[in-house]
Amino acid sequence: MKELDKWIEAGTIVRPHGLAGDVVVDIRKDLADLVSDATALRATHGEGKERLLTVESVRGHVGRPIFKFGACDTRDQAQLLRSWVLWVSREDLGELEADRWLVQDILGLDVVADDGECLGKIAEVMPQPASDIFVVKGNGEEILLPVIKEVVLDVDVSAGRVVVHLIEGMRRGTK
């Protein structure tokens, strides 16, 4: 069973936006719609720097939301937050919908084909426009699996396992 982390890495503050203390955040794709509902985010920078930021508002921007945090009212204050990493509490995220998981939770899970063959572990999740790609490493090979219902049959985070259906040609040396 995989132990779930209390804090989930949500993104990184990229730069100030405007003069009123707003910041642009490079948010993780799997959390984009969830983080905007959080009331506070933990921010860390380097070794030992940490603070709690109160979310006043979030507004959309192409791929990168713009956050307004309490006590950050000027561009200079926003500039000081550049490159800080934002974390959201798992508790603030609440219960996820069925068939939804967080990237942080599935990294390292065992991947098993529907015929019972152990394929390896999820080493990486590559965000793509159409669907994410699971990078599975094991048995001396790397398999790229699109996260679509025809391929990913079951994700059981608590059991530490993902069941997949391999389509012909997904592995090297197969047609």
Set out the domains of the chain in order of their start, with CATH numbers.
7-93 (2.40.30.60), 103-164 (2.30.30.240)
Per-residue pLDDT averaged across 68-80, rounded? 95
Helix-, strand-, coil-residue percentages of the chain, each rounded to 5: 10, 45, 45
Residue appearing with tokens 């930021």: 53
Q: How confident is the model at residue 32 (pLDDT cuts 50, 70, 90)?
A: confident
Contact (CB, 8 A) for 111 and 134: yes
- Residue 175 scores a pLDDT above 90: no
Residue 67 pLDDT: 93
The burial of 133, by beta-carbon neighbours within 10 Å (0-12 exposed, 13-18 middle, 19 or more buried), is given as middle
**Dihedral through CA 17, CA 19, CA 21, CA 23, nearest 10?**
0
CA distance 21 to 127: 30
Q: How confident is the model at residue 174 (pLDDT cuts 50, 70, 90)?
A: low
Q: What pTM was estimated for this model as a whole? A: 0.76
